């Protein structure tokens, strides 16, 4: 299997070249275009209940698709929904990432949304996915992506952290002096320890707030 | 102080390096990371232009698009080491620097103000045009003093030198310099024709100065995206 | 990231999607025009979102006009030279005088997403400008290519296509893909790396 992240740094997409018999698993809806004898299988990866729970808790799609090159080589091009960049990383162990950031992985990688370490931690429905296994992992950002080597402490506004090594601890904190009781937006996250932290330069929450007045209104 | 705008202009961001004793200010939700020695002080700007005090009557200024209140954060360094903070706009798009020389004042839309050095004064008293036929309105922040202002936009930012007259669709106005007057008007003659042409209200700038425009229309984009989302 | 700035000579005319004007020198006049007479008088938007209305610009003296695409991405200029190109609705941006546009219904309307495929056929001797959401990818199809409909921007009419779901009903309903276009033949195709539908899907869990 070969892959190439194209069109960096904005609106990046992923070309995956599969040799006969090879597979790639992707978030449903991520397939942009494909060429060659590719078979698509939609599965809930863990049974109906597992998939449903994963969707509700993590916001990750209920369905993941498995693409297999059958009888010949083929190419699958995957694109995330968010406008932004993509990261390819070799996973040997675990990584924590924001829901909605997951794009694709090889079959040895599993996604777990019920890891209790995060329960109720983040606000605004920001649930975290714990990804474990051995293989390639592809995730995306909303906005540009910056990788930070944390060694000590580092403060990030909630929502901007995309993925981080599980060796990092985190705690919520606030700006030191908030003189306005109206300003409840800024919840900061302090990461401590040693490990990699990927941050993005935009958040879904900002876009969700901006688009709110333009959504259809419930008419009773 | 070191202000570095990212090379990528599609999702531009700024890294600000502060030395002990230096201060900086930004729209409050714009800070996305900071080293732990950066102190963050948040306050609102009231309509009279004075800084809000807790317990007093405060009303943020409505931003052009989101209608949010305007909160300003001030940053300083807590210890004797340099610190770093990251400032990112809300929109997908570019960041531009405007240098204020203490003489010319500038006006930017509420949504386009991102950050500034501390000697830049913001006047949030309402400047603009309200209550159009179509319900649109536009308001500006006045920027004065000496220093650097960072503005944000949806898409790319372009600067136009105006020597006489220049017309900009309200969805594309970002900032303009003192020396220009503007009036709201509709293009293509009567109201009916203007509606057909798709243009809403445009601003006709007259005088001598500069106008900054953004290449894309944020409200237009939200109007396309909104109906695809669940109802509220 | 692309947008279009056109410098017009005195007397020159130009056309764009209605409502796309971002800035204008006062010497350029703007008038509304109706596209091709298709579905005259019925609503402003076709299913698929392409406005029926165009703006016509006439320069009384030399002047510039800024045209804003609907989405962040690239803008492509195509010099037709007598050839024809098919654009998907939403990607048409602007054209010069000697180009003919006509609207074609491209195929199957999805029951689920409400999307249809609406195409604009552009032919003639002149330039047509189209835009993408995201990065623009131009490639040659040699044989076959399957594309999620939201990612198709433009293609040469030498390509045939069928529209359908990804597989069985279950695949279509649950696979996340709306519709796909399966292209056959030889010809050029322009693709984009994002769709607003997928952005909405990504944003949905964050909406309360």
- Cross-strand bridge partners of residue A180: none
pLDDT at C136: 95
**What angle do helix axes A204-211 and C196-203 make, rounded to 10 degrees?**
100
Q: CB-based burial of residue A217 (10 Å sphere; 0-12 exposed, 13-18 middle, 19+ buried)? A: exposed
Strands A145-157 and A187-200: antiparallel
Buried b (16+ CB within 10 A) or exposed e, B79-116: eeeebbbbbbbbbbbbbbebebeeeeebbbbbbbbbbb
C122 and C85 Cβ atoms separated by less than 8 Å = yes
Chain B contact for A182, CB < 8 A?
yes
Q: How many angstroms separate the CA of residue B76 from the nearest CA in chain A?
A: 11
| Residue spans of chain C under pLDDT 70 | 1, 35-52, 106-117, 166-178
Q: Give the CATH number, domain containing residue B145.
A: 3.60.160.10
Domains observed in chain C: 9-206 (3.60.160.10)
Asked if the C-beta of C29 comes within 8 angstroms of chain B's C-beta atoms, the answer is yes
Host H or E run for residue A205:
helix A204-211
Of B13, B35, B230, the CB nearest to A215: B230
The answer to whether the Cβ–Cβ distance between B52 and A179 falls below 8 Å is yes
**Cβ contacts of residue B42 below 8 Å, gap of 6+?**
A175, A177, A178, A179, A180, A183, A186, B28, B71, B72, B73
Cα distances from C111 to residues A11, B79, B164, C173, in angstroms, run 29, 62, 54, 10
The partner residues of C118 in beta bridges, in order of sequence, read C105
Encode chain B (232 residues) as per-residue pLDDT tens digits. 999 999 888 899 999 999 999 999 998 888 899 988 898 887 765 433 344 332 222 233 333 333 345 678 899 999 999 999 999 998 899 999 999 999 999 999 888 999 999 999 888 766 777 655 555 677 888 899 999 999 999 999 999 999 999 999 988 999 999 999 998 887 755 554 555 555 567 899 999 999 999 999 998 899 889 988 888 8
Tally the domains of chain B. 1
Ranges of H-type helices in chain B? 191-196, 218-225
Residues B43 and B27: their CA atoms lie apart, in Å, by 10
Which chains does chain B touch, 3 or more C-beta pairs < 8 A? A, C
Q: Do C22 and B172 touch (CB under 8 A)?
A: yes
Q: Spell out which residues of chain C touch residue B204, defining contact as CB-CB under 8 Å.
A: 26
- Is position B56 within any domain? no
C-alpha span between A216 and B226 (Å, rounded) = 7
Q: Give the closest residue to A82 by CA, choosing from A146, A143, A27.
A: A143
ipTM of the complex: 0.84
Instruction: Report yes or no on B137 lying in a domain.
Output: yes
pLDDT score, position B62: 35
Residue B55 belongs to a domain: no
What φ, ψ does residue C203 adopt, rounded to 5°? -80, -25
Distance CA A16, CA A77 (A): 6
The distance in angstroms from the start CA to the end CA of chain C is 31
Place of tokens 């036929």: B133
**Spatial separation of the C-alpha atoms in residues C137 and C49, rounded to whole Å:** 22
Instruction: Give the β-pairing of B71-77 and B38-44.
Output: antiparallel
Q: Which of C145, C171, C208 sits opposite A35 (nearest CB)?
A: C145
The token duo for C130 is: 């189209």
Per-residue pLDDT, C170: 45
Angle between helices B218-225 and A204-211 (to 10 degrees): 90
Do the Cβ atoms of A83 and A123 come closer than 8 Å? no
Provide the pLDDT for residue C116: 56
- Helix and strand counts by DSSP (H, E) for chain B: 2, 18
Assigned domain for B100 exists: yes
Handedness of CA B125, B131, B132, B137 (dihedral sign): positive
Cβ separation of B34 and A155 shorter than 8 Å? yes
**SS3 per-residue string spanning B16-49:** EEECCCCCEEEEHHHEEEECCCEEEEEEEECCCC
Maximum CA extent, chain C = 60
Could you say which of A206, A213, A215 has the minimum Cβ distance to residue B90? A206
Predicted confidence at residue A65, as pLDDT, reads 85
Joined together, the tokens standing for residue A176 give 């030191």
* Residue C82: how many other CB atoms lie within 10 Å: 9
Please indicate if any CB of chain B lies within 8 Å of the CB of C3. Answer: yes
Q: What 3-state class would DSSP assign to A155? A: strand
B-chain CB neighbours of C203 within 8 Å are: 225, 229
Q: Angle at Cα C177 formed by Cα C171 and Cα C180, nearest 5°?
A: 95
Q: Looking at residue A135, what is its pLDDT? A: 95
Sequence length of chain C is 208
Structural domain harbouring B84: 2-50+61-228
pLDDT in the model for residue B224: 87
Distance (Å, rounded) from C-alpha A107 to C-alpha A16? Answer: 14
What is the rounded CA–CA span in Å between residue B27 and residue B62?
Answer: 13
Nearest of A136, A81, A143 to residue A107 by alpha carbon: A136
**In angstroms, rounded to a whole number, what is the distance separating the alpha carbons of residues B39 and B73?**
10
CB contact under 8 A, A177 and B92: no
Q: Is B226 on the interface with C (CB under 8 A)?
A: no
User: In chain B, what percentage of residues exceed pLDDT 90?
Assistant: 50
Residue A183, pLDDT score: 47
Residue identified by tokens 């090159």 is: A69
Q: How far apart are CA B32 and CA B36, in angstroms?
A: 13
Q: Count the helices and strands in chain A (H runs, E runs).
A: 2, 16
C-alpha B107/C-alpha B139 separation (Å) is 9
The values of phi and psi at residue C207, to 5°, are -95, 125
CB of B171 within 8 Å of a chain C CB? The answer is yes
Radius of gyration of chain A (CA): 18
Residue numbers in chain A where pLDDT is lower than 70: 43-63, 113-127, 174-186, 219-220
């Amino acid at each position: 299997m070969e892959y190439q992240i194209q069109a960096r740094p904005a609106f990046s997409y992923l070309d995956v070249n599969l040799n006969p018999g090879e597979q790639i698993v992707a978030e449903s809806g991520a397939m942009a275009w494909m060429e060659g004898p590719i078979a698509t299988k939609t599965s809930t990866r863990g049974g109906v209940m597992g998939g449903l729970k994963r969707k509700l808790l993590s916001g990750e799609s209920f369905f993941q698709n498995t693409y297999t090159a059958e009888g010949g080589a083929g190419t699958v091009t995957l694109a995330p929904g968010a406008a932004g960049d993509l990261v390819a990383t070799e996973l040997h162990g675990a990584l924590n990432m924001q829901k909605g950031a997951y794009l694709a992985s090889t079959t040895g990688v599993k996604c777990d949304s019920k890891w209790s370490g995060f329960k109720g931690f983040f606000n605004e429905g920001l649930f975290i996915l714990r990804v474990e296994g051995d293989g390639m992992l592809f995730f995306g950002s909303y906005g540009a992506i910056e990788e930070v080597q944390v060694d000590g402490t580092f403060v990030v506004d909630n929502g901007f952290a995309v993925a981080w090594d599980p060796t990092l601890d985190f705690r919520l904190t606030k700006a030191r002096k908030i003189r306005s009781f109206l300003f409840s937006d800024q919840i900061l996250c302090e990461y401590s320890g040693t490990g990699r932290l990927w941050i993005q330069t935009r958040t879904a929450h900002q876009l969700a707030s901006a688009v709110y007045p333009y959504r259809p209104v419930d008419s009773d | 102080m070191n202000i570095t705008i990212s090379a990528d202009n599609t999702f531009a961001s700024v890294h600000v390096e502060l030395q002990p004793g230096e201060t900086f200010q930004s729209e409050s939700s714009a800070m996305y990371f900071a080293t732990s020695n950066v102190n963050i002080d948040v306050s609102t700007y009231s309509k009279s232009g004075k800084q809000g005090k807790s317990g007093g009557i405060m009303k943020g200024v409505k931003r052009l698009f989101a209608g949010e209140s305007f909160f300003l954060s001030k940053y300083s360094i807590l210890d004797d080491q340099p610190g770093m903070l990251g400032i990112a706009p809300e929109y997908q798009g570019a960041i531009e620097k405007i240098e204020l020389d203490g003489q010319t004042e500038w006006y930017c839309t509420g949504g386009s103000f991102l950050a500034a050095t501390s000697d830049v004064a913001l006047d949030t008293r309402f400047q603009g045009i309200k209550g159009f036929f179509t319900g649109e309105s536009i308001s500006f922040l006045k920027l004065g003093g000496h220093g650097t202002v960072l503005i944000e936009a949806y898409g790319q930012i372009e600067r136009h030198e105006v020597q006489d007259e220049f017309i900009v669709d309200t969805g594309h106005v970002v900032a303009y310099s003192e020396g220009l007057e503007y009036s709201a008007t509709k293009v293509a003659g009567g109201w009916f024709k203007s509606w057909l042409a798709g243009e809403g209200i445009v601003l006709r700038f007259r005088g001598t100065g500069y106008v900054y425009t953004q290449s894309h229309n944020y409200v237009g984009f939200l109007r396309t995206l909104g109906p695809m989302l669940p109802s509220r | 990231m692309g947008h279009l700035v056109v410098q017009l000579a005195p007397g020159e005319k130009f056309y764009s999607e209605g409502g796309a004007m971002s800035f204008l020198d006062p010497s350029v006049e703007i008038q509304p025009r109706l596209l091709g007479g298709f579905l005259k008088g019925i609503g402003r938007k076709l299913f698929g979102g392409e406005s029926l209305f165009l703006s016509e610009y006439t320069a009384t003296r030399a002047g510039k006009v800024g045209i804003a695409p609907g989405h962040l991405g690239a803008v492509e200029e195509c010099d037709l030279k007598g050839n024809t190109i098919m654009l998907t609705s939403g990607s048409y941006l602007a054209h010069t005088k000697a180009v003919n546009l006509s609207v074609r219904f491209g195929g199957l309307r999805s029951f689920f997403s409400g999307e249809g495929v609406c195409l604009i056929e552009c032919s003639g001797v002149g330039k047509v400008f189209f835009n993408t959401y995201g990065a623009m990818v131009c490639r040659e199809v040699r044989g076959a290519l399957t594309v999620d409909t939201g990612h198709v921007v433009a293609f040469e009419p030498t390509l045939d296509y069928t529209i359908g779901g990804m597989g069985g009903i279950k695949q279509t309903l649950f696979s996340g893909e709306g519709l796909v276009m399966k292209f056959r033949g030889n010809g050029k195709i322009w693709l984009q790396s994002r769709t607003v539908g997928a952005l909405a899907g990504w944003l949905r869990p964050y909406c309360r």
